[in-house]
Amino acid sequence: MTNIEQGSISYSVADNIGTVEFHHPKGNSLPSALLKELADTIELAGKNEEVKLIVIRSKGDGAFCAGASFDELLAIDNFVDGKKFFMGFAHVLNAMRTCPKLIIVRVQGKTVGGGIGIAAAADYCLAHRDASIKLSELALGIGPFVVGPAVNRKLGTAAFSSLALDARNWYTSDWAYSKGLFNKVLNTTEELDEAVQQLASDLASSNPEAMKEMKDILWQSTGHWHATLEQRAEISGRLVLSDFTREFIQEFKKK
Amino acid sequence: MTNIEQGSISYSVADNIGTVEFHHPKGNSLPSALLKELADTIELAGKNEEVKLIVIRSKGDGAFCAGASFDELLAIDNFVDGKKFFMGFAHVLNAMRTCPKLIIVRVQGKTVGGGIGIAAAADYCLAHRDASIKLSELALGIGPFVVGPAVNRKLGTAAFSSLALDARNWYTSDWAYSKGLFNKVLNTTEELDEAVQQLASDLASSNPEAMKEMKDILWQSTGHWHATLEQRAEISGRLVLSDFTREFIQEFKKK
Amino acid sequence: MTNIEQGSISYSVADNIGTVEFHHPKGNSLPSALLKELADTIELAGKNEEVKLIVIRSKGDGAFCAGASFDELLAIDNFVDGKKFFMGFAHVLNAMRTCPKLIIVRVQGKTVGGGIGIAAAADYCLAHRDASIKLSELALGIGPFVVGPAVNRKLGTAAFSSLALDARNWYTSDWAYSKGLFNKVLNTTEELDEAVQQLASDLASSNPEAMKEMKDILWQSTGHWHATLEQRAEISGRLVLSDFTREFIQEFKKK
């Protein structure tokens, strides 16, 4: 458990369902330390024989995830730190991908950048009607390179282009549902919790061997992500040092 | 022609359209013998020079197809029989895929499991508004492994995940249309028949060489299905012998 | 600049936005000479350092693009000319694909055949509500072979099948939006121009290095198009000489 100021990850198991919850006071954004703990916890849950199904969620009624830590981003001044920063989400996405258990993600509110990657890497994602999404990376002078393969796999090239290039605008949960990011959208938090609980229970009592095979076929041909996401983190790590982005960050820091 | 109790396959040719119709008293479910005859008939129609276009349909106003034969599934007690059972739909899907003629599928009602595979392997699928679909395999302790490549090719990973993991719920024809399983949805049986007839006539009078090339490009990069669908049948053949599924079947037989 | 009778291509640069506009009196159809000039101009804009973003549009309030030149199609009487004719759109699609700048396409009206290929090869496509589309090639005895990879990449196999096989019918801009061909649909020409201008300005002032990397990842795994589109042009070049198509053309010329 990390310091509450830097956020926290909690993990519990009940009725064969492993629940991983992340929390950060700044809109459930995810600094590097939290991302590492999140990836490790997913891996842990994947190895726990008692756990038949994993639910990933975040704390509170506000944003599901505001993406990476902006404070950390502003502090990057060399390629090694830049790559390391962007590898944070790569590790989480790879942990979700290689986990032998099916993973449900519960999205209760607004989701930005890397948070969309977590939603997209779910095997099944349920969201609240108010869960708008924005892939704002390009507006910061970088781009959604690390989450790209996850978003593209679920939403396809056309919808990924919409999100990635129209980086200043929010897209509704209805749009995200129609494009496949969200498998189900619910009107209230109660309905969302009920739907998550119902599906989690149904799956936790399903044939574990069948679910393991399902996980396997759903992620077929993504073995290259291990290398691809690292290359993507390197692209972002270089871009964050570009004149354009450094000026943007300097301007931002003055405010 | 097989015994009517075990269902039947009929095949006729008129106006350069080859029509293959399957029928089974239990909701147009498809036992192994029927699946074999269906695959053979599709192959036959593919070789008939008089046939420029193929329509696959099932009999009656009820379900389009209730999937595989549940009676046969309950009787499986070894891997060889298990694999053979699941190869039934694999043969039909491969027959549709390798057929040099374009194939229209007419879906007049509810469709389950392997029936969704047949709809997905259509080159163009027209459905009645009441044609809800359910991919219930996971609820039986197995999974939609054999039909997976066909469903994934047309609907993508996100919609395939919805159907495969939410195995206890029906999805509407509107949903199936929005995700691409159905290319067109009609309000009445009359409108459905009219639309099937119109498209079939238009295509049957189109350039046969152009349609052969279209078929070819629509199915590019699926050559591996021959091996993949066999591996998938082996996965299902093993799972049907798992403790979980055997207990499920024992419970079911007691009822 | 070509003769106005055969249409024209104009190219201008302002505020780091390169605008390429094509025009032809017959519904903005594109004869071979115009297609060559269009491809060359896109290449030119791609190399111009002042240009940060490219907008492709066509002239007038009518059709965006009526496809290839029907007059030229009717005149083809040998394979070399046939292949050359169909390579016209292949060159444009490859120019858009290999261009290192992001490309916005503005679709103000009806779009047919190869015009759909240009819309599909956009990195972001904005359209007017009245911009219906039709992929009519199969109705002429050929097929949408050259534009196939572009359409399939954005819309997927299911929607491509709808357009390609249902070759006699128009599909609405709503349908094209839901399937991903159009990233945004606007109600009026004013709204369309405003939206194009807004996105173009936003992107033209974004990090050029980040956009170059985005272009690269959006088009990953399309390197084979260079060879594939040529093979497709050869298929069409052969089909246009088939008995079926020659009879169709003879019938048409009599009218």
| % of residues, chain C, pLDDT over 70 | 98
Output the CA torsion sign for A29, A30, A31, A37.
positive
Contacting B residues, span 107-126, partner chain C, CB-CB under 8 Å: 123-124
Q: Contact B114/B67 with Cβ under 8 angstroms? A: yes
CA-angle at C8, arms to C3 and C13, nearest 5°? 135
Q: Kindly report the length of chain C.
A: 255
Please state, in angstroms and as integers, the Cα–Cα distance from residue B188 to each residue in B63, B151, B184, B200, following that order: 15, 25, 12, 18
Q: What is the pLDDT of residues B151-168, one digit of tens each?
A: 999 999 999 999 999 999
Mean of pLDDT values over B215-219? 98
Q: Mean of the pLDDT values across residues C195-219?
A: 97
Q: How many residues does chain A have?
A: 255
> What pLDDT was estimated at residue C3?
53
Helix H or strand E segment including C128:
strand C124-128
Q: Is the pLDDT of residue B3 over 90?
A: no
Q: Distance between CA C31 and CA C120 in Å, rounded?
A: 19
Residue-wise over B156-165: b if at least 16 C-beta within 10 A, else e? bbbbbbbbbb
List Cβ neighbours of A251 (8 Å cut-off, separation of 6 or more): none
pLDDT of residue C250: 81
Give the C-alpha separation, C95 to C124, whole Å: 16
Locate the chain C residue with the closest alpha carbon to A177: C178
CB C105 within 8 A of CB C122: yes
Could you read off the pLDDT of C119-165 as tens digits, one per residue?
999 999 999 999 999 999 999 999 999 999 999 999 999 999 999 99
* DSSP string of A11-80, one letter each residue: EEEETTEEEEEEE-TTTT-B-HHHHHHHHHHHHHHHH-TT-SEEEEEESSSS-SB--B-HHHHHH--SHH
Q: Does B217 touch chain C (CB under 8 A)?
A: yes
pLDDT per position as a tens digit, B107-164: 999 999 999 999 999 999 999 999 999 999 999 999 999 999 999 999 999 999 999 9
Rounded to a whole number of angstroms, the distance between the first and last alpha carbons of chain C is 33
pLDDT recorded at residue C4: 56
The mean predicted confidence, pLDDT, of chain B is: 96
- Nearest residue, CB atoms, A206 vs list B138, B148, B156: B138
Say what the pLDDT of residue C2 is. Answer: 46
**pLDDT at residue C1, rounded to an integer:** 42
Chain A closest-CA separation from residue B52 CA (Å): 33
Extract the tokens encoding C109: 């009206």
pLDDT value of position B1: 42
When comparing pLDDT for C203 and C254, which is higher?
A: C203
Q: What confidence tens digit (pLDDT) does each residue in C163-199 have?
A: 999 999 999 999 999 999 999 999 999 999 999 999 9
**Torsion from C-alpha of A165, A166, A168, A174, nearest 10 degrees:** -130
C229 pLDDT band (50/70/90 cuts)? very high
Instruction: Report the greatest alpha carbon distance in chain A.
Output: 57
Contacts of A25 (CB under 8 A, 6+ apart): A4, A5, A7
Q: How far apart are CA A95 and CA A225, in angstroms?
A: 11
Collapsed DSSP state (helix, strand, coil) of residue A171: strand
Average pLDDT over residues A45-53: 98
Rounded CA-CA distance A51/A74 in Å is 38
The pLDDT value given to residue B238? 97
A154 touches chain B (CB under 8 A): yes
> Is residue C254's pLDDT more than 90?
no
C162, B155: Cβ pair inside 8 Å?
A: no
With contact defined as 3+ CB pairs under 8 Å, the chains touching B are A, C
Chains near C with 3+ CB pairs less than 8 A apart are A, B
Distance CA A78, CA B164 (A): 45
How far is the CA of C121 from the CAs of A111, A159, A210, C114, in angstroms? Answer: 29, 14, 40, 11
Q: What is the pTM of this model?
A: 0.97
Give Dmax (Cα) for chain B.
57
**Residue B15 clears pLDDT 90, i.e. is over it:** yes
Cβ–Cβ under 8 Å, residues B35 and B88: yes
CA distances from B237 to A203, A235, B148, C183 (A): 21, 45, 15, 44
Cα–Cα distance, A90 to A233 (Å, whole number): 8
Band (A135; pLDDT cuts 50, 70, 90):
very high
Picking from A102, A183, A209, the nearest residue to B239 by CB comes out as A209
> Average model confidence (pLDDT) for chain C?
96
Q: What is the mean pLDDT of residues B2-8?
A: 72
Interhelix angle A225-239/A148-165, rounded to 10 degrees, is 40
Q: C184-186 and C124-128 as β-strands: parallel, antiparallel, unpaired?
A: parallel
Summarize the confidence of residues C220-248 as an average pLDDT. 95
Residues with Cβ within 8 Å of B14's Cβ and at least 6 positions away in sequence, in order, are: none
Instruction: Give burial (CB, 10 Å; 0-12/13-18/19+) of C14.
Output: exposed
Q: Rounded to 5 degrees, what angle do the CA atoms C244, C245, C247 make?
A: 70
Classify residue A3 by burial, with Cβ atoms within 10 Å: 0-12, 13-18, 19+.
exposed
Q: Give just the sign of the alpha carbon dihedral A133, A137, A143, A149.
A: negative
A231 close to C (CB below 8 A):
no
Type of residue found at A137: E
Residues belonging to chain B: 255
Please give, rounded to a whole number of angstroms, the shortest distance from the CA of B249 to a CA of chain A: 13
Q: Is residue A159 less than 8 Å (CB to CB) from chain C? A: yes
Residue in chain C lying closest to A240 (CA): C210
Q: Which helix (H) or strand (E) holds A103?
A: strand A103-107
Q: Encode pLDDT of C90-114 as tens digits.
A: 999 999 999 999 999 999 999 999 9
| Domain A8-189, CATH homologous superfamily name and number | 2-enoyl-CoA Hydratase; Chain A, domain 1 (3.90.226.10)
Do A123 and B162 lie within an 8 Å CB cutoff?
no
- Going by C-beta distance under 8 Å and a sequence separation of 6 or more, which residues neighbour residue C245? B207, B210, C140, C141, C142, C239
- A184, A192 contact by CB (below 8 A): no
Residue A3's pLDDT band (cuts 50, 70, 90): low
Count CB neighbours of B101 within 10 A.
Answer: 22
B142 contacts chain A (CB < 8 A) = yes
Taking the C-alpha atoms of residue C162 and residue B124, their distance in angstroms, rounded to an integer, is 7
Contact C124, C104 (CB under 8 A): yes
Kindly tell me the sign of the dihedral angle through the C-alpha atoms of A191, A193, A194, A200. positive
Q: Locate the domains of chain B by residue range.
A: 8-189
Strands B111-112 and B103-107: unpaired
Average pLDDT in the A124-145 region? Answer: 97
